[in-house]
Structure 1
Amino acid sequence: MNDLDTCLRCHRDLRDYETRQYICGRCEDLASRALNEIPQLYSQLGQHLHRGAGGNGPAVSGSKAAPVPLRLAVLDMQTEKGPILAPLQGWVRDWETYGHGELAETGSLQDRIDGACRTLRYNLRWAVQHHPAVDEAVDEFLAAWRTLTRITTGETAPRRIAVTCPCQQTLRITLDTRGETCPRCGAEYGHAEALRLPLAERRAAA
């Protein structure tokens, strides 16, 4: 069990009812939401496989041939070792060693995505209380969810903001950052602390 008084993921103080957990209720809710939505988002990838495809289906050309070029990043997501299925099944395999989950490696990729998310969501409460790396798991769930959301909605990656550590190292953060570690001095910043760092000054072009 976690003997700390802060969430391992976002570094917020744990409330009284969250003590002896590894992450806070907010991070748990984000993970549960991601695991609930990933299967539906994944099922929409086929509509975004071709460049220029929108929410109403793939772009079409005047010929009967499939439109080109393909979006290789989307194609990679639809593979067994891609950035969606592989990490999800990796955590199912890990939790299975604790007796919480059973990895299914048969069926279509969609079936395996559905099964992995269902298993992980069902056992999430156990992981929050007992798995010391649950913060890493949640990060990977949310990374998969964000990737799928950006593909299916056309959203761009969050804008990065340059801020300055007291040691004068420039850090590039986003508004939804969970924390940052300065590579120069090793200072660690939680979400709120990172957002309070002063903006980096723009350097004049030579």
Structure 2
Amino acid sequence: MTLRAIVLGCSLKSSDEPSSSELLGREVLTALADHDVDGEFVRVADHHVKFGVTTDEGDGDEWPVIRAKIMDAQILVVATPIWMGQPSSVCKMVLERLDAELSETDEQGRMSTFGKVAAVAVVGNEDGAHHVVAEVLQALNDVGFTAAAAGSTYWVGEAMGSVDYRDAGPKPDTTGSATKTLAANTAHLAHLLAKEPYPPAA
């Protein structure tokens, strides 16, 4: 069975500018392809996503288009830079929009995100990768996603430095190794959940 993944790039920049978080997110997609997973990368800043906590805020809101891609996928990867030790504001907006999934349930009372597996990719030039991973994975778990063991990858450059991940060169024994583990475990769990869904809600 071939599964589907979507990577949401939460750079503050649109696609006309290079992004290290996009690079790492695309590396995750490449690694997932080795485990019967195809997918796509979406730069959230390219879309008019309104602030809010519903599935559709109306008046030109483009979140429903992105949400449809999430619903069609078995794997969601959030790729975010670190700003001031925190996930980017775009990432936080994505999490706020996903809050709507708390009330989206099937006929057996399960959230529509049950059975989907989440992972996180983080880049930055300051400390805080573990904090960002913790915030994002906890939020995604709260709204129904499952996280695999070692379901994150990151690269953090020198504090207050100016070298981005895309300029730092390959890191096969560190970030690259973590990305491969993320992909293997995330795909494994997603395949298991596709075959054996969670039980009905109590």
Q: Which category describes the TM-score, using the shorter chain as reference length?
A: under 0.3
Q: TM-score, normalised by structure 1?
A: 0.22
Higher relative strand content: 2
Larger Rg: 1
Q: TM-score, normalised by structure 2?
A: 0.22
